[in-house]
Structure 1
Amino acid sequence: MIDLAATLAHRPVVLDGGLGTLLEARGNDVASDLWSARVLRDDPDEVRAAHAVFADAGAEVVITASYQLGFGGQIPDAELEALLRRSVSLAREAADVVVAASVGPIGALRADGSEYTGDYGLGVDQLRRLHRRRLHVLADAGADLLAVETIPSPLEVEALALELADIGVPAFVSVSADSTGFVAPGSRADALRAAASVPAVLAVGVNCCAPETVSAALAEAPGVPLVAYPNTGERWDAATRTWHGAPAPLAAAVPQWVDAGVRLVGGCCRSTPADIAAIAAALR
């Protein structure tokens, strides 16, 4: 396993791809509100196997199946803590890679579309409390770093940055470049700058967005290592829970992203092991 912080200083590192996409392709049902966490709960061997497939494709960092798990959601707290810990242990068992524990936005726990807007009606202190226990459990479970991802608003970034500063565990923070929560001029840049100011944060950037939005979003980012793992170009309809459009080859844009300072690069929704293999080849 690589020393992530040291490696980022010298070369880009390959993230994995769409875990839910791969689980679905392997015949698993990810249509419920729990998404890949349903498989984590009911068929953990499948999650372990999917992590291994991405590692074999060239991923040096795998992101756990904990994105839609949080306290106060659909699963009782005692069971939830066990699942959070399981998500880390399965990734650890799958391959000798860096394990990044996924921390999704509060909207992902609600499964009501608010993960695309950040419009929760909550303040910073409330958001901190809602995220706190999950962050501590995942850190205590032995994750190498926390993958704070798809955050849709400056307010939630601020809350998470404050919590990460208290915990002191390595992390990256990635916002959704397509979220309507960042419509104010400079709001995304300010949010990324706030996250980057936390000493434990190794990289900041964007994910779960259209590939063509990455470069413009990263142009606003502070001068720290950047992370980029977009979707493959299809459009998600939250009302019908279906994808529309044609996929784009992510690897084609990798040299441009690396030139912009990206040091963690992979794929999000709809990206496959083949996409990750192509990204790894492009980096080589």
Structure 2
Amino acid sequence: MRKGKKLREKAERWVPNPNDPSGDDKKLLVEFLLKHCDGYKNAISIGRVLQEVRFKDEYTRELLQHRIIVPLREENDLFIGTSNKGIFLINDADDAYKTISFYTNRIRAEKKHLRNLKKIAKKNELFKSFNIDPKRANKIKKYIYLDESGVPSLKNMKTDPYFIVGALVLDGTDLRRQLARKLAFIKDLIGKPKDYELKSTRLNEKQYADILRELSIIDYEFAAICFIKDKLTGHGFSYPKSFYKYAYDFLINDVFDDIGEVNLYFDEYGGVNTKFQAEFF
């Protein structure tokens, strides 16, 4: 049996809890979705749903979301997908992927607002004399993976004109394990051994697209800074160690927050026992 058909049959058999005061309207919405909004390609706006479904109660957009759609998403036998086009009944992998991508992008946008608020609070010292209850503090362990492209030196600028530093940020051990499993799956997907080091320059266009699609559902954050060497004028950039330390100081001040435990992982120049590691710390 096709997965999509199986999901549809579960939605067709779904019945509300008899004690649910909104049960009848939930059933009406499910029946409407089955008939008109089967899959992402048939998504319909909430405004149109309110016009066409003869609910027993009256709803605004917000009330329909709160009382009907959101509770239905907590059911185990069906899921109402969402996208910029509207809502729909999820039936297959493409439907699920569209909704996961929609949620992921929205969450990332909210996290961007959160980071900006933290910067403003830090810049204006809003929490300078503010005591946070340690029991209420968000003590999530962060894992930050740091890497660079190019060499932190102003020599040979014609052949090496840029120095780029980047950081990948994961919140919590569970997310770190999830990423590890996803990377293992990706290597198997593109036919590479487990110890293969993924580099974009070694991938063809299809492999690159497959990897980006798989990683898009992982809730990570990243930041990167590119230094254009012929635009750098400070005397300190002439010294590789100083250049390297400045680059990562500049980056990490942008991705660090002050709460929680942080584990740093460096590649190449910042690795264990390199001449740059001591400079950084």
TM over 0.5, shorter chain = no
Query: Which structure ranks higher in relative contact order (CA pairs < 8 Å, sequence separation ≥ 6)?
Result: 1
TM-score range, shorter chain: under 0.3
Larger radius of gyration: 2
TM-score normalised by L of structure 2: 0.23
